[in-house]
Amino acid sequence: MVKRTRYAEWKDSYEHYKFELSPEGILFMQCHTDGGPLQWMWESHDRMSDAFADIAGDRDGIKCVIHTGTGDSYNALWGKPVTADEKPLYHAYGDAEGVEVMDEKSWFGRMIIENLLAINVPMIAAVNGPCTMHSEVPLLMDIVLAAEEAYFQDLSHFPRGMVPGDGQHVVWDALVGPSRSRYFLFTGYELSAKEAKEWGVVHEVLAKEKLLDRAWDIAREIAKRPPIVNRNTKYVLTQSLRRAFASELHHGLQAEMWGQRQFFPFGAGMQGLDRPWDQKPWSD
């Protein structure tokens, strides 16, 4: 939820997100876990929505945002794989406590999108490596650069038994059309950076060592414009995405929450199911 903020107040508030604001007004946002690639866990998931809200509410010095990952991965790591003797949180969905927990996670999922779209300055995604979950985050940014070794894949939903409701059902349809979107989401297709450029998802593919330099070059050029011009240009150019998410995001998240009553995330992190969903390693 966006409110008026100041960079100095929140810049050091996030365990998984490092911020630096350049003299030109370029905010560099680097996702990480303990200085290495970002690991998705409830903490990093929920705090991303808060971080985007803080950025959106800061109208004083931010003229452009560069958003990137750390090391060899943009966000292809899951923080806590489920083991054979562990009952997943989602399996408690039928209980009142489970419903409440998952309703809150659905809210945070919605806030990631809404707060990201509320950032009214141009954003540049520098996808430094594989992105196998929450690809809606970089792809909703205005300019998407990718390293040659980067690829996009939605492993965290249908391949392991979940409805792709975290905005995947909206952003891929909007960017590549319904036919490609269905194929990508149903099969867990690994879309290389080169092919992503051909699909119109990525704008430039670069050698990894040149990725951030190119992002900074573009950001410095954008930052030369008057702040009101930057903000209002961003606003008018993202109206179609705002409308699409306003129409489709909530019911997609609810379908995902409902589907989690039979969700079975057994296996190595983001890998697909290694057995039918109802062959559980525990007894109820």
**Cβ(202)–Cβ(176) under 8 Å?**
no
Give me the pLDDT at residue 256, please: 81
The structure tokens listed for 90 are: 């989602």
Q: What is the CATH number of domain 7-262?
A: 3.90.226.10
**pLDDT tens-digit series, residues 191-223:** 999 999 999 999 999 999 999 999 999 999 999
How many Cβ atoms from other residues are within 10 Å of residue 37's Cβ?
20
Give me the pLDDT at residue 166, please: 87
Give me the pLDDT at residue 282, please: 46
Task: Tell me which of 43, 136, 148, 248 is the catalytic residue.
Answer: 136
**Cβ(166)–Cβ(185) under 8 Å?**
no
Half-sphere exposure (Cβ direction) of 48: Cα atoms closer than 13 Å: 29
Between 133 and 141, the more confident residue is 141
Distance CA 59, CA 173 (A): 31
Give me the pLDDT at residue 160, please: 81
**Cβ(112)–Cβ(267) under 8 Å?**
no
**pLDDT tens-digit series, residues 88-123:** 555 545 566 667 777 788 889 899 999 999 999 999
Give me the pLDDT at residue 276, please: 74
**pLDDT tens-digit series, residues 45-94:** 999 999 999 999 999 899 999 999 999 999 877 665 544 454 555 554 55
- Our answer to whether residue 136 is catalytic in this structure is yes
**Cα torsion at 256, 262, 268, 272 (round to 10°)?**
-70
Chain CA centroid to CA 83, Å = 25
Cβ burial, residue 162 (10 Å; 0-12/13-18/19+): buried
- pLDDT exceeds cutoff 90 at 147: yes
Give me the pLDDT at residue 215, please: 98
Average pLDDT over residues 163-168: 90
**pLDDT tens-digit series, residues 228-279:** 999 999 999 999 999 989 898 888 888 887 777 666 554 445 566 666 767 7
Distance CA 248, CA 267 (A): 30
Q: Categorise residue 161: left if φ over 0, alpha if ψ from -120 to 50, beta otherwise.
A: left
Supply the pTM of this predicted model: 0.91
User: In a 3-state reduction of DSSP, which class is residue 40?
Assistant: strand
Q: Categorise residue 69: left if φ over 0, alpha if ψ from -120 to 50, beta otherwise.
A: beta
Give me the pLDDT at residue 267, please: 44
Give me the pLDDT at residue 116, please: 97
